[in-house]
Amino acid sequence: MSVLSGKNVLVGVTAGIAAYKTANLVRLFIKAGANVQVIMTPASKDFVTPLTLSTLSKNPVHSTFYNKDEENELWNNHVELGLWADLLVVAPATANTLSKMANGTCDNLLLATYLSAKSTVYFAPAMDLDMYKHPSTKNTLEKLQEFGNIMIPAESGELASGLVGEGRMAEPSTIISFIEQDILSGLPLNGKKVLITAGPTYEAIDPVRFIGNHSSGKMGFELAKCAANLGANVYLITGPTNEKVQHTLIKVIDVISAQDMYNATHTYFAEVDIAIAAAAVADYKPLKAENQKIKKKNDAMSLEMIKTKDILASMGASKEQQFLVGFALETTNEIENATGKLERKNLDLIVLNSLQDKGAGFKNTTNKVTIIDKSKDQIAFTLKSKTEVASDIFNEIIKRTNA
């Protein structure tokens, strides 16, 4: 998943030959999961057809203040379009449109939308090399950037005129990664590494049987998605689960037993900034996992069990720069028990869920938590979706770190 996923992107197309590349740009935005609407200047229709762009964007293309052909003429509200957009991307941006943008000219729908848009504005200049070099163009580009618009620089290469030089619109894939990087750089966890343990662990009894638990892994997966959406690189170490995630910033490490989870955790722990133990790790495992399937014999049988390693406590014991968060699932003396765990395991924050709360805990899509920090400050949250709980947890982490 890209950081562009779910973003509303308004693509402005102006009359340059590079407009043919905008078809691919729209396709790449859609592929990244963005919602796309296109505004064309009237002259840009000579270079790429509205039908191409409406088909690729899955939305009608806007180019005039009202749609003449409709039986009931429809007003294209530039203010609404501007408010809808999370980002406005003018690509290609010709010398003419850029100059108008710099001077507040407002003689078409794109320019009116630009003037009323509150979103981030990116522009990808496209023109012949001498136009690009001209002092008035340089002036325009500087002025537009002073206004807070973000330029995606033109590239060097062969131009439509046959001349070779600077002025070619950046390739659509370059525009996409430029914008993704720009969005990431503004996110609070950009450049941070986060480790999350999730799901249950399975402790083998013999080759076909194990001791496990009902953890779905949902909370851990939501935490991983939330961290990645905030810009972090995430190591998600998960026991067996049906949960799935696909995000460019999340590396999933599948494990089975508590020992596997312990090993994977300590492979990455030293390098991370934040670690959250959301896994329901088995506290005990069979002393010996039999190599062959155990045959039924007597009416009763017993298994000798030994303690597994406490992964969270081991992180607490070796932590340096890491901000460490644990979970506590309690049934009695909740606050007291959770605070005890926070101290014993050397945590910075503990997330308590009480099994007495309806909708909280294991298999649910909702959770009701109280977050306790090192100074024993408590924040009790209402019943929320696990997605919202993940976001509350990261808000509390961000408040307490330099992130």
What is the distance between the alpha carbons of residues 327 and 111, in angstroms, rounded to a whole number?
Answer: 52
- Of 51, 1, 63, nearest in space to 26 by CA: 51
Report CA 246 to chain centroid distance, whole Å.
10
Cβ 183 to ligand CTP, closest distance in Å? 31
204 touches 257 (CB < 8 A): yes
Nearer to ligand CTP, 15 or 281 (CB): 281
- Of 201, 235, 161, 178, nearest in space to 29 by CA: 178
Catalytic residue among 24, 59, 213, 364: 213
Cβ 357 to ligand CTP, closest distance in Å? 15
What is the distance between the alpha carbons of residues 67 and 241, in angstroms, rounded to a whole number?
Answer: 51
For 25, the token pair is 């740009």
Nearer to ligand CTP, 190 or 346 (CB): 346
- Of 87, 70, 100, nearest in space to 10 by CA: 87
Cβ 8 to ligand CTP, closest distance in Å? 37
322 touches 346 (CB < 8 A): no
- Of 204, 369, 224, nearest in space to 282 by CA: 204
The DSSP bridge partners found for residue 253 are 237
Q: Which amino acid is at 58?
A: K
Q: 36 vs 182, 267, 382, CA distance in Å?
A: 18, 41, 35
User: SS in 3 state form for 227-260?
Assistant: HHHCCCEEEEEECCCCCCCCCCCEEEEECCCHHH
Nearer to ligand CTP, 40 or 328 (CB): 328
Q: 255 vs 224, 236, 267, CA distance in Å?
A: 16, 10, 13
The length of the chain is: 403
The DSSP bridge partners found for residue 286 are 305
The DSSP bridge partners found for residue 122 are 89, 150
Cβ 211 to ligand CTP, closest distance in Å? 13
Cβ 275 to ligand CTP, closest distance in Å? 10
- Of 52, 26, 25, 48, nearest in space to 37 by CA: 26
Beta-carbon contacts of residue 135 (< 8 Å; ≥ 6 apart)? none
Cβ 345 to ligand CTP, closest distance in Å? 7
Cβ 312 to ligand CTP, closest distance in Å? 3
Does the active-site annotation cover 263? no
Cβ 223 to ligand CTP, closest distance in Å? 11
Angle between helices 386-400 and 218-229 (to 10 degrees): 50
Which parts of this chain interact with ligand CTP (CB under 6 A)? 197, 258, 277, 279, 281, 283, 308, 310-312, 326-329, 341
Q: How many CB atoms lie within 10 A of CB 238?
A: 26
Nearer to ligand CTP, 36 or 223 (CB): 223
Write out the catalytic residue numbers.
213
